[in-house]
């Protein structure tokens, strides 16, 4: 089907046409969502093959870092050229990175491949959210939550199971090879569906320097978190130097934001009070989710004594809980006035569940741990749609892609920092070097007590991050959701 003419593009789409577009976008979303869940349970096996546990968090943070940097650029590119070509290029980069990961002969190659993969994967969900923001009014988005529930429920259940099964019985590289056929299907379906999308092109400038400064500042911080307590003492000159360098680079990034004609993070968007509170709420929630999903297999295998396949099954309540919470909140918020109450209640439940795990990190039955993770996931899930829709509802349509990109930028940044932070806690407080810990873990002789004590503080750190998200949600202005696409007022 040819691209829609301007006259047709101005006409409202029918529900059937919107459903075709949403279906195409769902396939691309599934590609990214599956990649986030399938790798977690394979990480201990990957570390064993390469003999490097300390660098495991970089398999995740490299993906998150490049995805973080590219997300706001992707949002602006979608505003400039439309979502379709940007989505197709994102899928292509994702597949190139996947093949590089599958063929990796060592840890550094794998990390580099994940960085390339992140350049593509970082834009997939952001673009999907932008497309939905263009197509569907905030109050009407709950009608389509069922479609996205299918994507995330499927990826949340299939991902951990497939990752554990591939790692234990076949080969971990299959978690990357599986992306190739899925990516080709996603590209074909998305290309055809997005030709129906109405054109909303707006001129923007790309702030490459801002993206480089933000990446450099984040890398310095992540290196300090990764090397502190393992390669160097926390108060050693290299670690302190990295922390100082990170602060200086963040200052330079802030100056760039304040002075650039069109910075990576636009001041016009940041001036919006809903954005200023909704973004940190989403960042702390998503960061906690990603950090826990990556570290929990180590807890399940090292403390509870599960196999890789069993830990994949035990991780399902956390991931499926997020889907349940997000889907339920998305449907309910379109019918209620005080939609903030959903994440407020959800975050309280999540904090209490993590407190239970912090108090008893050892000795709990796996079913109790799974239930606590399920409650945590449901609570986290309520934050994500509410914060995203609230931000999209507060900005005018020309800023939709940029604002959505800002939300996803800080969500990814929160994931990278908290994942590295949780990893530093595990390595630093377990009392063992990473290689020794991994060797004992995979042989079934891990020192359970030190590892359990380390995870006690991981759960404490997660609860504190959710307290920060809770406070941000409380401070967020609760504006009535628009029922149409009339422009939102710019902040005064």
- Got the DSSP string for 198-259? PP--------HHHHHHHHHHHHHHHHHHHHBTTTB-TTSHHHHHHHHHHHHHHHHHHHHHHH
pLDDT single digits (tens) 312-335: 778 888 878 887 888 788 777 777
- The residue ranking higher by pLDDT, 145 or 38, is 38
Predicted confidence at residue 349, as pLDDT, reads 93
Sign of the dihedral defined by the CA atoms of residues 131, 134, 139, 140, in that order: negative
The residue among 381, 388, 390 whose CA lies nearest residue 350 is 381
Average pLDDT over residues 304-312: 77
Q: What is the mean pLDDT of the chain?
A: 77
Predicted confidence at residue 460, as pLDDT, reads 93
Say how many C-beta atoms besides its own lie within 10 A of residue 4's C-beta: 17
Predicted confidence at residue 9, as pLDDT, reads 43
Tell me the pLDDT band of 184, cut-offs 50, 70 and 90. confident
pLDDT at 284 over 60: yes
Predicted confidence at residue 408, as pLDDT, reads 73
The CATH class of 7-207+260-475 is mainly alpha
Instruction: Name the pTM for this structure.
Output: 0.72
Predicted confidence at residue 7, as pLDDT, reads 39
Tell me the pLDDT band of 10, cut-offs 50, 70 and 90. very low
Predicted confidence at residue 468, as pLDDT, reads 92
Average pLDDT over residues 369-375: 91
Predicted confidence at residue 78, as pLDDT, reads 72
Tell me the pLDDT band of 244, cut-offs 50, 70 and 90. very high
Average pLDDT over residues 158-172: 78
The residue among 157, 100, 56 whose CA lies nearest residue 442 is 56
Assess contact for 160 and 300: CB atoms under 8 A.
Answer: no
The residue among 69, 177, 168, 51 whose CA lies nearest residue 118 is 69
- The residue ranking higher by pLDDT, 377 or 123, is 377
Share of the chain above pLDDT 90, in %: 9
Tell me the pLDDT band of 8, cut-offs 50, 70 and 90. very low
Domain limits, the chain: 7-207+260-475, 208-259
Predicted confidence at residue 489, as pLDDT, reads 44
Assess contact for 439 and 419: CB atoms under 8 A.
Answer: no
Cα 345 to Cα 343: distance, rounded to the nearest angstrom: 5
- The residue ranking higher by pLDDT, 436 or 314, is 314
Give the chain's end-to-end CA distance (angstroms, integer).
43
The residue among 38, 468, 61, 107 whose CA lies nearest residue 291 is 61
Cα 45 to Cα 198: distance, rounded to the nearest angstrom: 46
Cα 160 to Cα 313: distance, rounded to the nearest angstrom: 7
pLDDT at 145 over 60: no
Range of weakest confidence among 381-385, 393-397, 432-436 = 432-436
DSSP helix/strand/coil, 488: coil
Average pLDDT over residues 161-179: 81
pLDDT single digits (tens) 31-90: 777 777 777 777 777 877 777 666 777 787 788 777 777 777 776 777 677 777 887 888
Tell me the pLDDT band of 248, cut-offs 50, 70 and 90. very high
- The residue ranking higher by pLDDT, 360 or 35, is 360
């Amino acid at each position: 089907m040819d691209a829609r003419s301007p006259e047709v593009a101005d006409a409202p789409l029918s529900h059937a046409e919107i459903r075709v577009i949403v279906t195409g976008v769902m396939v691309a979303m599934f590609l990214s969502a599956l990649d986030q869940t399938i790798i977690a349970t394979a990480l201990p096996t990957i570390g064993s093959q390469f003999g490097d546990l300390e660098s495991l968090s970089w398999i995740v943070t490299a993906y998150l870092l490049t995805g973080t940097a590219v997300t706001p650029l992707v949002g602006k590119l979608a505003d400039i050229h439309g979502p379709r070509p940007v989505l197709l290029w994102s899928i292509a980069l994702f597949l190139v990175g996947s093949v590089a990961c599958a063929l990796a002969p060592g840890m550094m190659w794998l990390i580099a491949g994940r960085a390339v993969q992140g350049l593509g994967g970082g834009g997939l969900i952001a673009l999907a959210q932008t497309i939905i923001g263009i197509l569907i009014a905030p109050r009407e988005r709950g009608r389509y939550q069922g479609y996205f529930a299918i994507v995330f429920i499927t990826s949340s259940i299939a991902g951990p199971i497939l990752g554990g099964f591939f790692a234990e019985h076949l080969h971990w590289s299959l978690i990357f090879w599986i992306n190739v056929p899925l990516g080709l299907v996603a590209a074909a379906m998305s290309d055809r569906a997005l030709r129906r999308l109405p054109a909303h092109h707006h001129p923007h400038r790309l702030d490459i320097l801002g993206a480089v400064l933000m990446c450099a500042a984040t890398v310095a911080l992540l290196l300090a978190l990764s090397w502190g307590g393992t390669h160097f003492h926390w108060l050693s000159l290299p670690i302190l130097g990295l922390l100082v360098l990170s602060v200086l680079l963040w200052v330079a990034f802030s100056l760039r934001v304040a002075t650039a004609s069109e910075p990576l993070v636009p001041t016009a968007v940041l001036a919006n009070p809903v954005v200023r509170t909704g973004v940190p709420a989403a960042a702390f929630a998503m960061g906690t989710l990603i950090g826990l999903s990556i570290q929990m297999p180590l807890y399940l295998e090292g403390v509870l004594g599960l196999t890789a396949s069993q830990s994949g099954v035990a991780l399902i309540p956390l991931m499926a809980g997020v889907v349940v919470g997000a889907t339920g909140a998305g449907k309910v918020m379109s019918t209620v006035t005080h939609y903030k109450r959903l994440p407020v209640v959800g975050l309280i439940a999540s904090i209490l569940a993590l407190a239970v795990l912090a108090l008893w990190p050892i000795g709990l039955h796996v079913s109790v741990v799974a239930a606590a993770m399920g409650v945590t996931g449901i609570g986290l899930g309520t934050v994500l749609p509410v914060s995203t829709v609230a931000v999209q509802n507060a900005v005018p349509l020309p800023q939709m892609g940029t604002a959505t990109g800002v939300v996803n930028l800080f969500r990814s940044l929160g994931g990278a920092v908290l994942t590295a932070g949780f990893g530093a806690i595990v390595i630093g407080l377990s009392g063992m070097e990473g290689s020794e810990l991994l060797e004992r873990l995979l042989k079934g002789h891990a020192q359970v007590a030190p590892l359990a004590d380390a995870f006690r503080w991981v759960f404490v750190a997660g609860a504190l991050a959710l307290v920060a998200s809770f406070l941000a949600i409380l401070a967020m202005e609760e504006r009535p959701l628009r029922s149409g696409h009339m422009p939102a007022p710019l902040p005064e």
